[in-house]
Structure 1
Amino acid sequence: MTHLTIAPVLLPLLAGALLLLTRRLLPLGVRRGLNLAAVTGQVVLAVMLLMAVGSGDVLTYNLGNWPAPYGIVLVADRLAAWMLLITALLGFFVLLYAVRGTDRGSRHFHPIYQLQLFGLNGAFLTGDLFNLFVFFEILLLASYGLLVHGGGAKRIRAGLHFVVINLAGSTLFLFAAGTLYGVLGTLNMADLAVKVAQTSPENLGVVRTAGLLLFAVFGLKAALIPLHLWLPGAYSTTSAPVAALFAIMTKVGAYCLLRVGTLIFGAEAGPLTDLYAEWLLPLGLMTLLLGAFGALSANELRRQIAYLVVVSVGLLLTAFGLASAAGIAAGLYYMVNTTFATAAFFLLADLIARRRGAMLDRLSPGPAIHRAGLLGGLFFIAALLVVGLPPLSGFVGKFLVLSAAFEDRSWPWVMAAVLTSGLLGMIALGRSGSLLFFNTTAGVERDPPGERMALMPVFGLLALCVGLLAASGPMLGFCTATAEQLLHPQGYISAVLGPTSGGTNP
């Protein structure tokens, strides 16, 4: 048992508590520095954890030294460390943008920011369904605070919709967890993997129903069609750094679908084998297409980007729905690109809106933008990454998904949906770029004070995507190894329960 496994959970929790206790004592500049230092520390811890599990080891931490499945356990494998690193890097660059002034107006922004990271890291590391529920609730509370930060009727309305829908999801989660515990006598995910495979015929229907309830909960978090309606309003009305940070929120749902779908309802689940895969592929394709139509119909840039997040969820879950090592690896590679690219796009949309005066980000003719060449170039790069056009990493990720699809009998449907959504996204962003940078009226808006430094986080996030392209070989190798580890979960089960694990008696 290594303390490195719990460190990514403890650091944001302690940092959030410190920032909360000193919110009236320390000046804003000091609190900003503390927050940035804490996020930087999380990046370092994520890198260390990724190096520790990179060879295939699975690290566990039993809280209170209670052995699993009786106590709370944190588990770090390749997938968990991968998600932690993505979250930490995203959190760092988003916070760099937020400290320009978005964090003003409330003493609670910085502690809530750390609590959001605490919930995210905990969700990726927990090995227990009930504690996954607990971290989901922490995420819900923190994300609501961030969502309505700054106030305004639109944000409050979108925040209420967000909370009500997610509370409904939390209720379903409790029903599912309670049902599984009542039938199988455990909520430890490794132990559930053993128990589900041994489920008696008379309990199969109940366990299947509970598993599908979990699917609905995770689909809601991931914004899977038709559970996506909360996302465009929430992401398009909140502040730019919050929307950018929320680029990882849908990936929490996708992570849970992948984790539970391969561990508990994977290839060794007996009659419940691949319970999620048969739903993921068709719903992922529907999400892909309907999200693209939403982006095409949007009349504001941030709302359009929000629908492109839905599109990325569709492609990601389509890749996971292929239920093959190649498909999962392609999805994990694509996840990095879409998270950083959409986050950069939200920040860039805010910079563009600030330079258009009263027109903000509405997709209609407005005053010419100062330094339109630089912003237009960044818009073009972000569009290439999001739509998946060559030669950047978005194209590589989409190509990998299509290549993996040829191994599945549904490849014509995947090909048609992916190419159609790409065409619609290209048309939508081409139209937006033309309206914003070419179809302008007389007059040039000047840069708002201090806006030049705001470009640094955008450059940083786009540079991560370029780095992903440059290191495609090693990255894809790691993603493939991660996919193989997920599809053969006995190593995970043995690390949690012991090498001779056979589950516990209810």
Structure 2
Amino acid sequence: MNHWLTAPILIPLLGGILQVFMGYAPISLRRTLAIATTVLLLVSTIILVVLASDDSYRLYAFGNWQPPFGIVLVLDRLSALMLVLTAILAIFCHIFAIGGTDEGNRQFHGLFLFQLMGLNIAFLTGDLFNLFVAFEVLLIASYGLLMHGGGRARSVPGLHYVVLNLAGSAVFLISVGMIYSVTGTLNMADLALKIPELAGENMSIVKAGGMMLLVVFALKAALIPLCFWLPKAYANATAPVAALFAVMTKVGIYAILRVYLLVFGDDAGALANLGMDWLFPLALITLTMGVIGALGADNLKTLVAWQVIISVGTLLAPIALGSAAGISAALFYLLSSTWTVGGLFLVAEMVANQRGSAKDKIVTAPRMRNRTFLSVLFLVGAVAAAGLPPLSGFFAKLLILQSVLSGSEMAWLWSVVLIGSFFTVIAYSRAGSIVFWRTVDGHIEEPKPLGGNVSVAAGALAGLSVVLVALAGPISEFTDATAAQLLNPGDYLEILKTPMVEGDK
């Protein structure tokens, strides 16, 4: 077995446990340990990306129990891509947090690391029940992070977030129970082999369970009409938490990709492509609702939170169509949008700290310090988010449009994406012009200075949109190969048929 597969789970787990017992240690020591843990996590995910690049699947079975029994971790290109995406986002969020955001909660870093552990379990697990466990780890840690800093402004959205996700967890548990009652397994590969053989009442039960799972994943991804909890929750979270949460909706999208291409894919017989007919129109409506919300946003964090919903719709539309080109383009856009949104949340917090009582509200205020630096960061993020050249958002949206070149789907996708991008530009132009260029007489009393940590973190995430353009060739090759691997799961299913030996599968 390849023990590297356990590293993205064990590293944040051990780091988080140490943070729990170091709650009363000097904050400098806790910060050093937290950053070291996140750096080690990033190194381990890079190694896994290199391992996954040979197109083979790697399996880790805890206790050496052969699948479909026991707990299994499976590494392929998609899981490796999600792991490194999360690790890169996490390192810059953590660097930003040690600039002062982590103060006031001794367990901030522990919760942060447990959040990463839950994310990594979700990306690596080969079992539906363990995916449920990962979602529960995410819920517990994310609630603690969401409440960091306290106050009614965070308590009410946090309560809505928890109640909805607990309801989603209940539906998740019921759905996997229905599927298990018929198939006798929750291993994804085993399900992919057994579902095509179902008929009659058994098939109807699994179909109902599969549709309920889609509802749960849609809630996690913030797909309309299950998206209205997100703007207030994200807008009221602290900046590094909101930035890390940029990847949370992508967990739902990952689950849709993994489950509905493997378990309910083209070879699933009567249950093939379950729910995909609903996904495409809902994705376009989600994108449209996100643009409307962005136009009406009254502060920068809310604007960026609606951008998360825009990215969800933009991602799921090509995924629902199921072509290799569409999935590859969506994965490229996933990288760009996640890092861009994370950077914009950090920039919004920096702006709020420079504008006194105006904070990040889209209103006129006295000229802030460091206006040039902050306006450039906001401009880079806005250009990438809206999909304007020459940054990564433009290339990602261009790939999405090129993935659909005929039929009514092309007309709908092109129209909604292009019109949505136009109005997104208007939303960011309005916000930027008011916040950075329309000033009133007066001065801001004691604005918080920009620290090196926060400037580096926000600047680095903004700069990743340029890096993605520079490396567009190899990244596109990786996403193309990932899409091809997802649409041809034969090697994944061979894991069940071939006895596990020492080494990689």
Superposition map of 1:212-231 within 5 A:
212-231=211-230
Partner of 2:28: 29
Q: Is the 8 A contact 1:265 1:276 kept in 2?
A: no
Q: Is the 8 A contact 1:97 1:454 kept in 2?
A: yes
Superposition map of 1:279-290 within 5 A:
279-290=278-289
SS in 2 for 1:75: strand
Deviation at 1:53, TM superposition (A): 1.0
Q: Is the 8 A contact 2:12 2:116 kept in 1?
A: yes
Q: Match of 2:416, as an amino acid?
A: A
Q: Is the 8 A contact 2:66 2:499 kept in 1?
A: no
2-structure distance, mates of 1:334, 1:456:
23
Partner of 2:125: 126
Q: Is the 8 A contact 1:494 1:500 kept in 2?
A: no
Deviation at 1:452, TM superposition (A): 4.6
Gapped regions of structure 2 (runs ≥ 5): 501-505
- Counting aligned pairs with the same residue, the percent is 46
SS in 1 for 2:441: strand
Q: Match of 1:320, as an amino acid?
A: I
Q: Does 1:186 align with 2:185?
A: yes
Q: Match of 2:387, as an amino acid?
A: G
Superposition map of 1:318-467 within 5 A:
318-407=317-406, 409-445=408-444, 447-467=447-467
Q: Does 1:146 align with 2:145?
A: yes
Superposition map of 1:195-234 within 5 A:
195-234=194-233
Deviation at 1:444, TM superposition (A): 4.3
Q: Is the 8 A contact 2:2 2:58 kept in 1?
A: yes
2-structure distance, mates of 1:344, 1:455:
11
Q: Match of 2:317, as an amino acid?
A: T
Q: Is the 8 A contact 2:350 2:450 kept in 1?
A: no
Q: Match of 1:42, as an amino acid?
A: L
SS in 2 for 1:265: coil
2-structure distance, mates of 1:468, 1:38:
25
SS in 2 for 1:366: coil
1-structure distance, mates of 2:333, 2:422:
18
Deviation at 1:353, TM superposition (A): 0.9
Deviations 1:346-374 (A, max 9, x none): 00001111111101111111111212122
Q: Match of 1:451, as an amino acid?
A: G
Partner of 1:9: 9
Deviation at 1:200, TM superposition (A): 1.6
| TM-score scaled by length of structure 2 | 0.97
Deviation at 1:463, TM superposition (A): 2.0
Partner of 2:164: 165
2-structure distance, mates of 1:407, 1:322:
12
SS in 2 for 1:105: coil
Partner of 1:54: 53
Deviation at 1:499, TM superposition (A): 4.0
Deviation at 1:449, TM superposition (A): 3.2
SS in 1 for 2:100: coil
SS in 2 for 1:74: strand
Check 1:408–1:94 CA distance in 2 against 1; reply closer, same or farther (3 A cut): farther
1-structure distance, mates of 2:81, 2:74:
13
1-structure distance, mates of 2:399, 2:321:
12
Partner of 2:115: 116
Q: Match of 1:395, as an amino acid?
A: F
Partner of 1:471: 471
Deviation at 1:204, TM superposition (A): 2.0
Aligned residues: 499
Deviation at 1:420, TM superposition (A): 1.4
Deviations 1:53-78 (A, max 9, x none): 10101111001111111111000100
Partner of 2:503: none
Q: Match of 2:467, as an amino acid?
A: G
Deviations 1:195-218 (A, max 9, x none): 111112332221111101000000
2-structure distance, mates of 1:119, 1:52:
22
Deviations 1:132-172 (A, max 9, x none): 00010000000000000010101011111000000000000
2-structure distance, mates of 1:117, 1:249:
10
Check 1:27–1:284 CA distance in 2 against 1; reply closer, same or farther (3 A cut): same
2-structure distance, mates of 1:462, 1:213:
37
Q: Pairwise CA RMSD of aligned residues?
A: 1.3
2-structure distance, mates of 1:500, 1:3:
17
Deviations 1:220-242 (A, max 9, x none): 00000000011001000010110
Q: Is the 8 A contact 2:319 2:327 kept in 1?
A: yes
Q: Is the 8 A contact 2:221 2:252 kept in 1?
A: yes
1-structure distance, mates of 2:284, 2:150:
36
Partner of 2:490: 490
Partner of 2:70: 71
Deviation at 1:500, TM superposition (A): 9.1
Q: Is the 8 A contact 2:154 2:237 kept in 1?
A: yes
SS in 2 for 1:99: helix
Q: Match of 1:282, as an amino acid?
A: P
2-structure distance, mates of 1:448, 1:106:
20
Deviation at 1:301, TM superposition (A): 1.1
Q: Is the 8 A contact 1:291 1:311 kept in 2?
A: yes
Deviation at 1:267, TM superposition (A): 1.1
2-structure distance, mates of 1:450, 1:473:
35
Deviation at 1:303, TM superposition (A): 0.6
Q: Match of 1:484, as an amino acid?
A: A
SS in 2 for 1:107: coil
Superposition map of 1:90-101 within 5 A:
90-101=89-100
Q: Is the 8 A contact 1:364 1:435 kept in 2?
A: yes
1-structure distance, mates of 2:85, 2:379:
23
Q: Match of 1:486, as an amino acid?
A: L
SS in 1 for 2:366: strand
Partner of 1:84: 83
Q: Is the 8 A contact 1:370 1:444 kept in 2?
A: no
Check 1:112–1:408 CA distance in 2 against 1; reply closer, same or farther (3 A cut): farther
Q: Is the 8 A contact 1:322 1:408 kept in 2?
A: no
Deviations 1:1-27 (A, max 9, x none): 210111111111111111111222x21
2-structure distance, mates of 1:72, 1:199:
25
Partner of 1:255: 254
Partner of 1:504: none
Deviation at 1:440, TM superposition (A): 1.2
1-structure distance, mates of 2:452, 2:193:
55
Q: Is the 8 A contact 2:355 2:447 kept in 1?
A: no
Q: Is the 8 A contact 2:235 2:301 kept in 1?
A: yes
Deviation at 1:458, TM superposition (A): 1.0
Q: Match of 2:110, as an amino acid?
A: P
Q: Is the 8 A contact 1:196 1:264 kept in 2?
A: yes
Deviation at 1:279, TM superposition (A): 2.0
Gapped regions of structure 1 (runs ≥ 5): 502-506
